[in-house]
Structure 1
Amino acid sequence: MTNANASPDVLESDACYLALKTHDARFDGSFFTAVTSTGIYCRPVCRVKLPRRENCRFFRHAAQAEAEGFRPCLRCRPELAPRPMGTANWSTEDASRILAQQAARLIDEPDAWTDEGPGAAQIAARLGVSDRHLRRIFEAQFGVSPLQYLQTRRLLAAKQLIADTRLPMTQVALASGFASVRRFNAAFVEHYGLNPSALRRAGGAEGGDGRAIEVRLGFRPPYDPNAMLGFFARRALRGVESITAEDGKVPTAGKNAKAPAPAFTRLARTLRVQHGAQVHAGWLQLRFDMAREQMLLSVSDSLAPVLPVVISRARAMLDIDADPMAINAALHEAFPHGDGLRVPGTVDGFELAVRAVLGQQITVAAARTLGSRLVEAFGEPIATPIDGLDRLFPTPAAIAAASGDALGQLGIVRQRQAALHAL
């Protein structure tokens, strides 16, 4: 999509228009089309009537389109697009480009969203450069300031909550990083020219009354959901995770390695999110809609205040923002039938680290057994409507306070006990 002799972010308009014309989902999120005759910008997969070529402008990032005065399409909904495809080649890229991309990654994380930040000064301090230098290289890379980029990310996150849920506007504003509904409304009207309530469509998933919240997340095909969910099924911890097969049953780890793998349809798990001083606990459930290139995410009402955080972690867990073309090109020789493979992630970094410690030098099945025992002994009980989900993964404090004898009774040897305590 770019000219080899040009800046990596200079888009080839003819190639973009061809992808738009064919609704090619492989390029979803890699660029946005702004239509000058309507003042609206869309994803490449948008099914509206194809605009005339001379009326199209192409932008790498949604923030660039909004900075030029374009509004997001209400039909294809740019907030559903996978995040921009990374083109980072760490061995050849210049330091300024890497620094700008890292700053954008920090802004993209909802964990850091507040009304005051993450401001350019805080991000610059974290990256070890001056505020002025960060703003200069960020604008050179993305065409907008860090504040404009952050504002677009928060407003698109709020737009998704408005369209897909019935959360109160106060909760939408706070979850999207705004300090008040007044500031949220003002920003929304300024950018999109309409009040947030005008976007709320009838029949959205209910929130605020104990029912699950449902949102949709786009991904770029091809994607092999069975390979991904199969990975998690082999490592699922009792009480924390549940992966359901096509027949509605929860598969168990069999000893027959030659048996055909079941077709997995759903992943569910419990989750704890600490956001500032507040701790929110609940559950999430993930299913794939392959026909629409979307992942369906259901979240317990208790996680509504941190819904953008949960969405971000779910995207990372199933690697749905990856560039499949680059992956397939790299894997083709080693795995000729590996189309759609992705890298499994996690919704909790501490949990992943504990599981890595437990899994050293033993089989996957043995590590799963140790992890399940640890959850049963030190995980907090939680009530969910999903069979088999009744525990949260242990907190760092709970594992740090566990005695060596208590860990030893679970079958955890002393070296791993020391590693867990140190962690």
Structure 2
Amino acid sequence: MTFDRDSCYEAVLARDRRFDGWFFVAVTSTGIYCRPVCPVRSPKLANCRFYANAAAAEQAGFRPCLRCRPELAPGHGLLDVSRRLAQAAAALIGAGFLNDANLSALAARVGVSTRHLRRIFEAEFGVSPIDYAQTQRLLMAKRLLADTTLPAAQVALTAGFGSVRRFNDLFSRRYGFTPARVRKHATDAARAATADTLTLDLPYRPPFAWDALLYSLTSQAISGVERVTHDSYTRAIAVPHDGTRVTGWLRADHLPQRLALRITLSSSLTPVVPSLLAQVRRFFDLDCRPDLIDARLGALAAALPGMRVPGAFDGFETAVRAIALRHWPRADAHAWLQRIADAFGTPVAQAPDGLRTAFPSAHALASVSAQTLRATGLPLRGVTCLLKLADEVVQQRVFLEPFTPLDETLAHLRDVIGLDEWSVQYVAMRALGWPNAYPLGDPLIAQMAPDDGACWAPWRAYAAQHFAYAAGQEASAA
């Protein structure tokens, strides 16, 4: 990635949040690298070096700023299809994939050879996948030290280091100070934590239509699994880890003055913090670029800028939702989803009021007989589709998550599993995070929207979200 130095420097002088996460500025006179929004006094241009990512800055010998905290920068989102393989690998690394697997497994996961992965990764990020992973572990550890009260040993293990000694040594050599120095400066998030919870703030680029996002989540919430209030979202969750499912709950609250969401996690989820934070960012679409998207949507976004498209904590759950919504009206579909969650989901202990269970996994539903599923009220065609979906996910013949090969995955959903086009587009939008998906299944939405929405490509999913919100508001007013 190349940079226009003058443009980057102008963004640094203006502390322009549109560029937060898109590059980092390193200052030769201090040996420190920062986000372009750092509040410290702006450096001289002659002393600035610009890097595409934190790993490249650290490989060049710079340390992360303790004020703006580069580990908090928003990510890139899905913008350039030609870079999707490298971005897919980076997303998996950021979620902790290499903490438990090797580079060959990562290459197989994104569908290329190990040699090819190294080549495209270094071309995109300027560092090797291993160097990139090391930086991600260090930044995750730095975040946990600053924002939680976890013991240092647990911080090291959660961030993906094999031993506390290795963590301490690498941290001190890379950053020039000890982990204890970070721990001395407790943040508001750390002070908000309790013995039973962790609290972490996740920044975003403004504007953020939080109320509209909550409205969308309210209309889709599964009772017992999710709870949405006028200002927060809470969810029971089960995350795969070391052959088991780690259960717990999380809550998201909006901090508009900080341009962040405050995420409170039950302490039981500590072992899966890296992967879970990546899921949370996708679910709330925190890496969205509203400046680019709203400019493309034009008048459609003028009244409500910063619309987000909700993602998925589990792509399989999203596909099951689609199956339910194609067989019943929304209220009946959600009643059925609640029944199967209560019957086959994973109970979550000590969850907040209103939460009982995490949504059942593909493995859990794949083991349920067709007769038992028919007894829940699902028509035979839906049962056949659901069991085929569960089996395909369990056998890893299809992956319902961002950065999977789009065309092949959508074709698999249509031809092998038997989903209709609305369901395929719904899964593409929420589970695959594809910004150009265009699900217009609701007749009221279809009346409001053009046939193909080509004028809004490649952001048709955001246009569809605007229409869905407008249709909901119109229905509520009626």
Using the size of structure 1 for normalisation, the TM-score is 0.85
Partner Cα distance (1:101, 1:311) in 2: 17
1:217 and 2:217 correspond:
no
Matched, 1:102 2:88: yes
C-alpha change, 1:271 and 1:320, in structure 2 (3 Å) is same
Shift of 1:36: 1.1
Alpha-carbon distance, 1:128 to partner: 4.6
The answer to whether structure 1 residue 165 and structure 2 residue 148 are counterparts is yes
Instruction: Give the Å deviation of 1:406.
Output: 3.5
Structure 2 counterpart of 1:253: none
Deviations 1:257-287 (A, max 9, x none): xxxxxxxx10000000111224210000001
Matches within 5 A, 1:4-403: 9-88=1-80, 90=81, 93=82, 97-110=83-96, 112-114=97-99, 117-119=101-103, 121-201=104-184, 203=186, 205=190, 210-245=195-230, 265-403=231-369
Secondary structure in structure 2 of the residue aligned to 1:10: coil
Structure 1 pair 123/333, CA: closer, same or farther in 2 (3 Å)? same
Matches of 2:111 and 2:374, distance apart in 1: 43
Aligned partners of 2:238 and 2:346 also within 8 Å: no
Would the aligned equivalents of 2:202 and 2:261 in 1 still touch at CA under 8 Å?
A: yes
CA drift of 1:244 comes to 0.8
Q: How many angstroms apart in 1 are the aligned matches of 2:347 and 2:87?
A: 40
Deviation, structure 1 residue 30: 0.8
CA contact (8 A) 1:328 1:338 kept: no
Larger displacement relative to structure 2 (149-158 or 17-26): 17-26
Shift of 1:40: 0.7
1:296 CA displacement: 0.5
- Number of residue equivalences: 387
For normalisation by structure 2, the TM-score amounts to 0.76
One-letter amino acid matched to 1:41:
Y
| Superposition deviation, residue 233 in structure 1 | 0.6
RMSD, matched Cα: 2.2
- How far apart, CA to CA, are the structure 2 residues paired with 1:98 and 1:299? 30
Q: 2:377 aligns with which of 408, 411, 414?
A: 411
- In the alignment, structure 2 segments of 5+ residues that lack a partner are 391-478
Letter in 2 for 1:224: A
Tell me, what secondary structure is at the counterpart of 2:219? Answer: helix
Do the aligned partners of residues 58 and 85 (structure 1) sit closer, same or farther apart at CA in structure 2, a change above 3 Å counting? farther
Aligned mates of 1:237, 1:130 — CA distance in 2: 41
Check whether the contact 2:28–2:47 (CA below 8 A) recurs between aligned residues: yes
Secondary structure, counterpart of 1:360 in structure 2: helix
Cα distance in 2 between the residues matched to 1:169 and 1:158: 9
TM-superposed CA distance for 1:177, in Å, is: 1.4
Which structure dedicates a bigger proportion of its chain to helix?
2
What CA distance in whole angstroms lies between the structure 1 residues aligned with 2:376 and 2:113?
50
Cα shift readout 1:356-413 (whole Å, capped 9, x = no counterpart): 2212143322221211121222223323352211222123343233344443343211
SS of alignment partner, residue 388 of structure 1: coil
Q: Distance in 2 between matches of 1:404 and 1:201?
A: 57
Q: Could you tell me how far apart the structure 2 residues matched to 1:305 and 1:332 are?
A: 43
CA distance in 1, matches of 2:327, 2:12: 49
**In terms of mean alpha carbon deviation, does 55-64 or 409-418 score higher?**
409-418
| Distance in 2 separating the partners of 1:125 and 1:309 | 19
